[in-house]
Amino acid sequence: MRCSPGQLLRAHCSSWTRNGNGRWSAAHRRLAVIAAAAACTVTLAGCVTPAFNTSSYRQKTQESASEMAGLVGTARLAASAYLQGKLYSATADTIVSDAENDAGDIVTQWTSVQPPTAQAENIMSKAQTLLSDTSDQLTALRIAVRKGDRQQIGSLLTKLGPAIPKLKKLAAAG
Amino acid sequence: MSPLKLALGVMTAIGGFVDIGNLVTSGITGARFGMALTWAIILGTVGMTVYGEMAGRVAAVGGRAVFHSVRERLGPRVGLVNLTSSFVLSLLTLSAEIGGVALVLQLATGINYLLWVPLVGLFVWLVIYRAPFMLIENVFGMMGLGLIIFIIALFKLPVDWHGLWVGATHPWVPSSEPHSTYWFYAVSLYGACLVPYQVLFFSSGGREESWTTKSIPQMRMNAVVGFPLGGLLSIAIMASMIPIYSSLNVNVSHLGQIALPVAASVGLVGLIFALIGFFAATFAAAAEAALSAGYAVAQFFGWTWGKMHEPRAAAQFHVVCLASIIAATGFILTTIDPITVTLVSVVLGAVAIPLTYFPVLVVANDEEYMGKWVNGRLSNVLGSVFLVIMVLASVVTLPLLFITKAGH
């Protein structure tokens, strides 16, 4: 038998005790399973929670910048190793593509957080260009690696170099 | 016993010890915590050695694989709970390993891993259905030795050996990390070394190879020498992340990142060895996890099981293996991240470890079965200490999983 959410809720409110034979009702058990599954999904998915004040927004920005710096570092290492003939193009492409995808996720998640105060908006305007530009440069690097365009890879490595200290500075200061 | 056979067994045990769980957890923790969690690998490896030896002895002397003991000692009802948890974990591990093989193939070819997943599932089934047991154990175990390249890479990387030693011997929580995350990854490293399918496979493999008391010295060498050397490989993977990633604050979350330090230090040859090692370790573990799912169900219900029988004679066992492979392949095809599945499987494995290991300890103490091979004082002290640790870890694991959002 299937229960609607309304039926489950009524069952939940009317009898939060065991029934006559000392067992939990089927509705209770289903409700518990649904609640546990929902809790697990939300917790394990690592969903982005809203920022309620400037400090929390700053912290999210710092975390995003720190993760982005790590991704740029990984992508630069892979691209350099490819240029030095230490990585196959397929392997370099996979590593740089993974970094690019993760960078895109970071930017999407960070921009989805509403800045709660005017101060937080200032932080956003300072960080947005750096995070988005870095993500775009990783996309350009992936394209160059996939094409095997060594000159373009070299040029992008030079461009991405200064991004790491800037991102680290943002991660430290917010 | 010939020294060649002895060496082959030990090398197989070394290569077979490492799977996707060890690769991922060692890579993540090395980049994030340095050597501060080395103790968790050592603890898990010693636990695996103690219980692997015990399970192997029970298989050789008592003629009983793990799930015979589970049903016999815990009864059908509690045993069924045990079987369910073990089976689900084997499925989760199998999913992670199939995903891992597909990720390795993506690294080698550039073709998206999801396209490889069905082929990997098919190949795992073909190997289980057609290939002899010794081939699964020995060929992939030997290929897994390709991971030794991580030890070689350590000598080519700019390693601060004193820093590594200090990190390993002073296991403090880094100031940048919360205590809960540190303990979450400690449990994941420990769980990756003690995954229940490994002891299930080790003891059932003993029956497949018709171990007797004469096989005990070989079995002991595999467990006492092979497993710790496998643990050493995990530590080498952890250490090789540090010179490359620690200054960049990289969060390792992809298999390619784990291979990168080897490529950067040793070059293309190193990369090839690393990829062969990754492939062998994950593929062998996929086959072992699928077989373990079949072993657990068939042993519990008293069906004919094992590759020592023709598939027709052990049809139910082979159906369970096939169904497990199909389910695991389908699960990874949902596009769930195999690395996340790996982390969750090793952590949930840590919850279920006592359920699998406790019956082994009980049977290994039964003089009726074991005769003069019954547990000695050392085995019992170590077994009991580890059982307490396993229970403690299983109690804290789920809260840590939720508090840290699976280590984020």
- Model confidence over B353-381: pLDDT tens digits? 888 888 889 889 988 888 899 999 999 99
How much is the average pLDDT of A14-38?
52
Give the Cα separation of B400 and B184 in Å (integer). Answer: 6
Highest mean pLDDT among A160-164, B77-81, B198-202, B210-214: A160-164
Q: What is the DSSP letter of B174?
A: P
- pLDDT tens figures, B40-72: 999 999 999 999 999 899 889 877 777 887 788
ipTM, two decimals, is 0.89
Query: What percent of chain B lies above the pLDDT cut of 90?
Result: 58
pLDDT of residue B279: 95
How much is the average pLDDT of A51-59?
86
Mutate to test the interface with B, among A41, A62, A72, A86 (most CBs of B within 10 A): A86
How much is the average pLDDT of B123-146?
87
Higher pLDDT, A3 or B281: B281
Give the Cα separation of B18 and B145 in Å (integer). Answer: 9
Burial class (CB in 10 A: 0-12, 13-18, 19+), B35: buried
Write down all domains in chain B, each with its CATH number in brackets.
Answer: 3-403 (1.20.1740.10)
Q: What is the DSSP letter of B173?
A: P
pLDDT of residue B77: 85
Tokens 């299930």 correspond to what residue?
B200
Query: What percent of chain A lies above the pLDDT cut of 70?
Result: 72
pLDDT of residue A25: 60
Among A131, A132, A138, A173, residue whose Cα is nearest residue A159: A138
**Phi, psi of A115, rounded to the nearest 5 degrees:** -65, 125
CB atoms within 10 A of CB B404: 20
How much is the average pLDDT of B22-35?
94
Here the tokens at position B314 are 């052990």
How much is the average pLDDT of B225-245?
94
Tell me which of A30-44, A73-87, A157-171, B123-137 is least confident. Answer: A30-44
pLDDT of residue A19: 47
Give the Cα separation of B319 and A123 in Å (integer). Answer: 59
- Contacts of residue B401, defined as CB under 8 A and 6 or more positions apart, other chains included, come to A43, A44, B184, B344, B347
Residue B294 has pLDDT above 50, yes or no: yes
Tokens 């490889």 correspond to what residue?
B116
Band of the pLDDT at B133, cuts 50, 70, 90? confident
Residue A5 has pLDDT above 90, yes or no: no
DSSP structure string for B134-168: HHHHHHHHHHGGGGGHHHHHHHHS---HHHHHHHH
Residue B87 has pLDDT above 60, yes or no: yes
Band of the pLDDT at B142, cuts 50, 70, 90? confident
Average pLDDT for chain B? 90
Residues of B in contact with A70 (CB under 8 A): 245, 248-251
Band of the pLDDT at A11, cuts 50, 70, 90? very low
Residue A60 has pLDDT above 70, yes or no: yes
pTM over the 0.90 mark? no
Higher pLDDT, B266 or B10: B266
Q: Are B140 and B122 in contact (CB under 8 A)?
A: no
How much is the average pLDDT of A75-103?
96
Tell me which of A31-45, B98-112, B204-218, B257-271 is least confident. Answer: A31-45
pLDDT of residue B134: 80
Give the Cα separation of B28 and A27 in Å (integer). Answer: 42
CB atoms within 10 A of CB B374: 17
Among A62, A171, A70, residue whose Cα is nearest residue B249: A70
- Contacts of residue A122, defined as CB under 8 A and 6 or more positions apart, other chains included, come to none
pLDDT of residue A40: 53
Average pLDDT for chain A? 81
CB atoms within 10 A of CB B108: 19
pLDDT of residue B63: 78
Band of the pLDDT at B4, cuts 50, 70, 90? low
SS3 A49: coil
Report CB contact under 8 Å: B108, A88.
yes
Q: Are B54 and B360 in contact (CB under 8 A)?
A: yes
From residue A170, give the alpha-carbon distance in Å to each of B110, B249, B355, B408.
34, 14, 48, 20
pLDDT of residue B176: 80
Residue B13 has pLDDT above 90, yes or no: no
pLDDT of residue B196: 85
Residues of B in contact with A46 (CB under 8 A): 405-406, 408
Give domain limits for chain A. Answer: 5-45, 54-173
pLDDT of residue B82: 85
Per the rule left: phi > 0, alpha: psi between -120 and 50, beta: everything else, B366 is beta
- pLDDT tens figures, A117-150: 899 899 998 899 999 999 999 999 999 999 999 9
pLDDT of residue A74: 96
User: Which residues of B lie inside 8 Å of A (Cβ-Cβ)?
Assistant: 106-110, 244-245, 248-251, 253-254, 256-257, 259-260, 263-264, 267-268, 271, 275, 344, 401-402, 405-406, 408
Tokens 């995808």 correspond to what residue?
A101
DSSP structure string for B277-288: HHHHHHHHHHHH
- pLDDT tens figures, B305-314: 988 888 889 9
Residue A51 has pLDDT above 80, yes or no: no
Quote the minimal CA–CA distance from B348 to chain A in Å. 13
pLDDT of residue A38: 52
pLDDT of residue A12: 40
Residue A34 has pLDDT above 70, yes or no: no
List the single residue in A46, A93, A95 with the smallest CB-CB distance to B260.
A95
Query: What percent of chain B lies above the pLDDT cut of 70?
Result: 98
Q: What is the DSSP letter of B170?
A: S
- Radius of gyration from C-alpha coordinates of chain A: 24
Higher pLDDT, B370 or B122: B122
Report CB contact under 8 Å: B250, A73.
yes
Band of the pLDDT at A31, cuts 50, 70, 90? low
How much is the average pLDDT of A94-122?
93
List the single residue in B109, B344, B406 with the smallest CB-CB distance to A90.
B109
Half-sphere exposure (Cβ direction) of A61: Cα atoms closer than 13 Å: 29
Burial class (CB in 10 A: 0-12, 13-18, 19+), B393: buried
Residue B16 has pLDDT above 60, yes or no: yes
Note the helical H segments in A84-149. 89-111, 118-147
Give the Cα separation of B242 and B275 in Å (integer). Answer: 20
The residue type at A142: R
Residues of B in contact with A98 (CB under 8 A): 253-254, 256-257
Higher pLDDT, B238 or B368: B238
Residue B2 has pLDDT above 70, yes or no: no
